[in-house]
Amino acid sequence: MTQRESRQQRAKSAPGDLGRRVAHLRERLGLTREQVAERAGMAPGFVGYLEERTATLDEGSLLRLAAALETTCEELLGGEVERPPGRGRPPAHPAMEPLDADECLRLISPGGIGRVAFAGPGGPTVLPVNYLLQGGVIVFRTQAGGPIDQDLRTGVRGVEIEIAFEVDRIDDARRGGWSVLIRGPAHHMAPEELPEVAGAAVHPWAGGPREIYVRVVPRQITGRRIEGF
């Protein structure tokens, strides 16, 4: 099967996913349907139809839409979902730029998925968490009795457990990206603190009864941005 035939087959097999990806990529770029339509040479109503209904695209329309959304046909059709970022060619002339604390916090402020690293019961542990940045503090939820919960329950009054929290973004198309690393003490949130975050959008993808809220107070914030040309 040729690459073209493969793209067409995926477009026909998962049109609902295509619409969701179109909407997600458009919103990530901050574009309206009208702006995407103008970029792709399509009618605005057709872009709306793609996002809301099941539909398929011919090869030419798919290529124009991918270009309008600053992505590839493969990503638009979900072909990149199982591929880790950073597999593309590195920039020929990379430039590494340190980021100040304010810029680091700005980059991670939308929330999403980050990683926490700590000394777990079985040794060094790194886990992904859905997080929220609220008032300059990292907030996430965890499971009672899980490795993070156990690590924080030292039983020694006044002892602070330091953990590392990391977020990164890689853009293969532009051969660049950034990473932010935060170190600081992690604490179970006290009952009087919970009303501030209980209604916040911290929804763990892992599901289950993850009702323990943990906050990480940044003590050290570092970041790097890499760009290439």
Both tokens of residue 85? Answer: 């970022």
Global pTM value: 0.63
Q: Would you give the distance in Å from CA 120 to the centre of its chain? A: 24
pLDDT at 169: 86
Residues 6+ apart with CB under 8 A from 192: none
The domains found in the chain, sorted by start residue, are: 3-76 (1.10.260.40), 95-227 (2.30.110.10)
pLDDT at 13: 40
pLDDT at 75: 76
Q: In this predicted model, what pLDDT tens digit does every residue of 79-136 receive, in sequence order?
A: 655 555 656 666 667 788 999 999 999 999 988 889 999 887 778 889 898 898 888 8
Measured in residues, the chain has a length of 229
Residues 6+ apart with CB under 8 A from 173: 70, 71, 72, 88
Reported as a pLDDT band with limits 50, 70 and 90, residue 11 is very low
Q: In this predicted model, what pLDDT tens digit does every residue of 31-79 receive, in sequence order?
A: 999 999 999 999 989 999 888 887 778 888 889 998 998 888 877 877 6
Instruction: Answer yes or no: is pLDDT of 12 > 50.
Output: no
Give the torsion sign (CA, 36, 42, 44, 48): negative
Q: In this predicted model, what pLDDT tens digit does every residue of 173-211 receive, in sequence order?
A: 667 789 999 999 988 877 777 667 666 667 766 666 677
9 secondary structure, DSSP code: H
Element (H, E) at 107: helix 101-108
HSE, side-chain direction, 13 A CA sphere, residue 129 = 29
pLDDT at 147: 76
Is the distance from CB of 213 to CB of 189 less than 8 angstroms? yes
Q: Which residue from 65, 63, 71 is spatially nearest to 3, judged by alpha carbons?
A: 63
Q: In this predicted model, what pLDDT tens digit does every residue of 133-181 receive, in sequence order?
A: 888 889 888 877 777 777 776 555 556 788 899 999 887 666 778 999 9
CA dist., res. 25 & res. 21, Å (int): 6
